[in-house]
Structure 1
């Protein structure tokens, strides 16, 4: 199941491949940098969306220790698709092959190195970086060990080298620029809400026994501390044996051992189930037929799961976060996670009246067309 960042990268790849302008991709591997032309990017897209398969590992990838087989195969295919290669210290020679003028778009928080960004700056390449959030700096307690300082270093390099910064929300812009202002001048920025497509929904893709009989609730997202699954488990403990079923849809993340222990202790008769490996179509079917989708997140940069739930015309109950108001408007029910009583009241009400809310009919999320109309107008 693709993550939110994965989807953004795929959307940008599709947009640039649909354009008549020359397009190239820069990839950083264990052995250096690769340059892909349009044909190479098309081959990459074909593999990522399943139109063609990934090839076998090559000689170089076999020497990579600690890399998964999937990673070795992917890196080998990147080399097969590349039109040029360079060791890290010869990156400038690779960049010299690009036509001028040229704009660089980094939308995934990777390859934001001093070597890459300063090298592009020296070649006169226009640097555009999409910042998804600054949650690691605001809530370091929720992050994987050892990830906060590298994230800060990346954002400081963005602050120093980016010509323009793209923000997925005004909330992200405000928070990011406040951080960057501590280090110096803030680069130009623009807000462009991420685009959405109507989620897939296919009941036949669900495993046997799903959807369950009777009203049920879903929560979607990686099981990590800031998603606040522990709050939902507390809610379900309070609801007791007569609680509706809660389906936790997402893979286990990090720094959450106490919650994992609670999930592991759930018995066969529990009113909470963990579903980590659903396809997009199966997940869409569960969300679409739920009595409600629950999102008690403590922090978000954008919030794609509640947005997609609304697009499937499913009622949403979420934490009262400013960023969610920005693009979900008044469609969800907002309740602070400090008010457990309000959450209990709404869940009980929806469980007893699980029909679809007519006010959500035809709800539309932001479009990629609008996103790119804003973003691509920035190109020099």
Structure 2
């Protein structure tokens, strides 16, 4: 007698095991020799937890597609795999260490921490594969890959080299989103832009060749900034090309206060005449808009922050480009170097 309600666990497991035993999902089988190939690479789920409803919908649609093509006689490969999701996985493992009151990643060291990452990958990754099988996904599990596998990494390097040689990708010095706590670059998609109420500092940049007089505005340009610590890496001051107040200064230089670096006054539409003084400091190494201005005008990119967001202005750093180390400046360098950026902002 049939049960009143359908109990999938009584049937789906044995049926799926029979499919796997018969290699029903395997690509390149002898009985499909000469058949037209059809391949789908599964969007690899991150090994940071369990699958969700979005995965269920996505994989169901893919499964319908590949099963349909198998029934048409094609040699089908549905390539399974999982993604390392480096930053997210690191956060998960670090949270586990904290909850278990175990040493953090810095205390245990890189090698031990990587071992813990791999342990988590095995635990989480196996859970994900089990969930996909419970869904009935007809992947060729004999070809399962992980984005950090040696073979897959080698294939990625090969493709990148080929694309580079073909001129389709290039290597360049670019500004990136950087996390000073995780010490890694993060993508634009992982950045949440939050507006906050800041404070404006107004700085006078003396015009080169003119005797500076704090009471005479014709001897300097005023710029306003919410990040005064980045002035240490300024390589230009930008004004709008149609701003009559500054047209006569375009092409001349100003002297970076305290530092003494000569930097040009450039005309660029990025500067808004209606905001502040109409003149903006340009620090290509620490602002995405400034980076684009710097590219347009061929400006140097002087980094003045370390990986952990401290001032990095020692004698052997980018900071020294175009700078003469006077006794006064040396004292400031000793005072400021290594200071956290927020603390430096108020010094």
TM-score > 0.5, shorter chain as reference: no
Normalised by the length of structure 1, the TM-score is: 0.23
Larger Rg belongs to: 2
Q: Which has the higher helix share?
A: 1
